Each structure stands twice: as C-alpha cells, then as structure tokens.
Amino acid sequence: MSTIVVKGAGNFVRIGEKLKKLRLSRGLTQEELAERTDLSRSFISQLESDKTSPSIDTLERILEALGTDLKHFFSDFEEERVVFKKEERVPVYDEPEGVKSEILMSGVEDKEIDPILVTLEPGAQTEEESYHEGSEFGFVIQGKIDLYLDGKRYRLKEGDCFYYRADKKHYVKNPGKKKAVLLWIMID
C-alpha cells in the first residue's frame, strides 16, 4: 500500500482523506468524479481510502475536475481559521455620514462571502451600488431599514432578512428615529 502523506500544521494529513472531503464539498459522488476524470469509481474509492496513490498527472486531473489545482490543494494543509474576534474587525472608510461598516472576517483569502456589520444612524443611507456579480444577503439585527433595488423600496424590520442577485442598483436607508444594525453579506 502506497500512501501520500503530507505534514502540515503539526500533524500528518492523508491525500485520500483530503480528496474525499473536497469531493463531498462539491456535492459529487465517486461515480460522478470518475466520469469527469475518465477514471474508474473503484480507483477513486481506493484513492480516497489511501489504498493507492495517484500519479501527479492523475492528481492534477482529479483536482481540475474538483475546481482547484495542486498549488491550492497543498497550500490548504495549514490550519483553517475558524474564529474572528471583535477587536480584529476592519472599519470601512469613506462611508456616508451616519453609516459605520466593519468587515467581520479580515485576512481570509479566497473566501466566497464578505460579511459586513453595518450601523445606520436615523436617516442615514449607504451609497448606491451599481450592478455587479454575485448575490447579497442581509439580516436586520436592530431597528428598521428600507432596501432599494432599482428604485423599488422594501421595508424590513428587526428579524427580517433579504436576499437578491446584485444585478440591480441597490442601497439601504434607515427611515426610523433609532439606530439600525444590519448584517450584510456579499456572496461571490
């Protein structure tokens, strides 16, 4: 039995185990991965259980089918960051008067979401954003907001949330007399 093992973050990580996690995170069965790579399902199974090792060419083919490459696959063996402390938040500058935004997860590369905590004083509004790729999600933590999408207004109160494709001009405004707080997540 030949097993590729990589030392990372103080412990050994098996390639097969990592490939299996990556495949499952992509929602693929062994059969689907086998079809995409022109390999047999039994080979994928043996590989994931570390009963065999792939050639570099085969590993590259598998990784391409899983949407990554050797560099990213092997650079990912360092310990994953899980906790982001309040004191590590990064303020967003150049916000309109009465708007305070903080990036909640700084220093994370290749993330598919950007969560921001937005505080709006009464009457304050964010700048209007033009169309861009991705989607946006928001959850009103406190107060109420008006969400504007291509000029159409949606009223949300504490506990409400929104989701939309960012192919519309958009901004939020606090129409109330109290501060509004919103968790706003941009999704790539």
Encode the chain in three state secondary structure.
CCCCEEEECCEEEEHHHHHHHHHHHCCCCHHHHHHHHCCCHHHHHHHHCCCCCCCHHHHHHHHHHCCCCHHHHHHCCCCCCCCCCHHHCEEECCCCCCEEEEECCCCCCCCCEEEEEEEECCCCECCCECCCCCEEEEEEEECEEEEEECCEEEEEECCCEEEEECCCCEEEECCCCCCEEEEEEEEC
Same-domain status, 51 and 71: yes
Same-domain status, 72 and 90: no
**pLDDT higher than 70, residue 76:** no
**pLDDT higher than 50, residue 100:** yes
Question: Average pLDDT of 28-49?
Answer: 91
Question: Average pLDDT of 23-37?
Answer: 90
Q: What is the mean pLDDT of the chain?
A: 85
CATH of the domain at 61: 1.10.260.40
* pLDDT for res 170: 94
Residue 61's domain comprises 15-77
Same-domain status, 54 and 138: no
How does pLDDT run across 128-148, given as a tens digit for each residue?
A: 988 888 899 999 999 999 999
- Total domains present in the chain: 2
Same-domain status, 73 and 97: no
> Would 157 be classed as within a structural domain?
yes
* pLDDT for res 151: 92
* pLDDT for res 86: 82
Question: Average pLDDT of 86-101?
Answer: 86
